[in-house]
Amino acid sequence: MPDDFYKKLAQAVIDGEEEDAVNLAKQALDQNLDPLACITNGLTKGIQQVGELFGSGEYYLPELIISAEVMKSAMEILEPALTGDQEIEVVARVVIGTVEGDLHEIGKTLVATMLSAHGFKVFDIGVDKSAEEFISAINEYNATIVGASALLTTTMLQQEKLIKNIKEAGLGDKVKVMIGGAPVSRKYAEQIGADGFAEDAISAVDLAFQLADAPV
C-alpha cells in the first residue's frame, strides 16, 4: 500500500502535477504515513527520474523546473512533519546566488533546480548578493558548497572578492566555491582560486558531486 502511494507521489513530481502532489502529501499526513519515507521513496525518486529524463533529452528545462517546484510544494507540507531524529539524506548543502551588482537570475536558478533534483539541499539566496550575505548564509545553513553566478564582466570581479572574503572568514577549509556565468571561464576560476567552474546546469551537477566528494 505505501509503495503504491510513494509511486503516486513520484508520478505527480514526474508529471509536474502540483495539485496532485500537494493533495497526496496532505493525505500522507492524514493517514499517518512516515513523512521521511514519503520524501525519500516518493518525491526524491520522482525528481531523480525527472533528472534522468532531462539528462536524456526527453524533458526540457520547463518540465524540469515545474517538477522541482512541485517537489518543493509537497516538501513544504511533509518537511515540518519530520520528527526530531529524522533527517533527509542529502549529498551536500549548497548556498547559491548571483553576486553583488548582478541581477541575472535564470542560470543560477537552473543550477539550483538541477542540484535539488540530484539530491543536494540547496539554499537559493537570490540575486545581487554581497560577499557578506553569502558568508552569512553559509554559516546559517551550514553549507559546504557555494555556487556564485555572474553574467557581466564587471560583476565577475565580485566572485574573486567572495572567495577572498570566504578565506578571510576562516571558511576556506569548510566550503568549496564553484562559479559560473557567461563571461567566466575555467582559466578565470583557477586564477581567482575557485574550486571549480561549470559551463551549464548539467556540468554543474557533475562538478558539485566532485566537490562533495560523493559518487555521481
Partner 1 sequence: MIKLEERKASIQPIKSKLKVSILDDQEISQINQNARTVMEEVGVKFPSEKALKIFAEVGANVDFENQLVKIPADLLDKYLATSPRSYTMAGVRPDLDVHVGSGEGTYFYCSGEAPKIVDFETGERRLSLKKDTANHARIADYLPIVSLLWPSVSASDKGVTSPIHGLEACYTSTEKHVETESIMDAVSARYAVKMATAVAGSEENLRDRPTLSQLLCCIAPLAQDRGGIEAAMVFAEHGIPVGFMSMPTLGLTAPPYPAGALTLAMAETLSGIMLTQIINPGVGNYISVNPGIIDPRTGVYFMCSGVAQITNVGGIQMAHSNGIPSLACHSFGGSQYELGNWQAGYENLYSHFLAVMAGADMSFGPSGMYEAVSLLDHPRILFDREIIQVIDEISDGMEVNTQTLAFDMIKKIGQHGSYISQKETAKESRTMWRGESILYEDGKAEGRKWRDPVDVAREAISWILDNHNPEPLSPDVKKELRSLVAAADVDEDLQKEVLGR
User: Is the alpha carbon torsion for 115, 117, 123, 126 positive or negative?
Assistant: positive
Select 43 or 65, whichever has its Cβ closest to partner 1: 65
Residue 171 or 211 having the CB closest to partner 1: 211
> Residue 105, Cβ neighbours under 10 Å: how many?
16
The three-class DSSP label of residue 116 is: helix
- The reply to whether 106 sits near partner 1 by the rule CB under 8 A is yes
What is residue 59's three-state secondary structure? coil
Least distance from C-beta 184 to partner 1, angstroms?
Answer: 12
Of the two residues 132 and 206, which places its CB atom closer to partner 1 in the complex?
206
CA atoms within 13 A on the CB side of 170: 1
CB nearer to partner 1: pick between 105 and 133: 105
Closest approach of partner 1 to the CB of residue 135, in Å = 26
Terminal alpha carbon distance of the chain = 31
Quick check: 216 binds partner 1 (CB under 8 A)?
no
Supply the minimum distance, in Å, between the C-beta of residue 149 and partner 1. 15
Q: Identify residues 155-214 at the interface with partner 1 (CB under 8 A).
A: 198-200, 202-203, 206
Other CB atoms within 10 Å distance of the CB of residue 84: 5
* 20 vs 199, beta carbon nearer partner 1: 199
Nearer Cβ to partner 1 (63/79): 63
CB of 50 to partner 1, least distance (A): 12
Going residue by residue from 59 to 88, which x/- string records binding to partner 1, judged by CB under 8 A? -xxxx-xx--x-------------------
What is the rounded distance in angstroms from the CA atom of residue 115 to the CA atom of residue 27?
A: 28
Q: How many residues bind partner 1 (CB under 8 A)?
A: 18
Q: Is 20 in the site for partner 1 (CB under 8 A)?
A: no
93: nearest Cα among 40, 137, 159: 137
Q: How far is the CB of 1 from partner 1 (least distance, A)?
A: 30
Give the per-residue SS3 of 136-204: HHHHHHCCCEEEEECCCCCCHHHHHHHHHHHHHCCCCCCCEEEEECCCCCHHHHHHHCCCEECCCHHHH
In angstroms, give the least distance from the CB of 199 to partner 1: 6
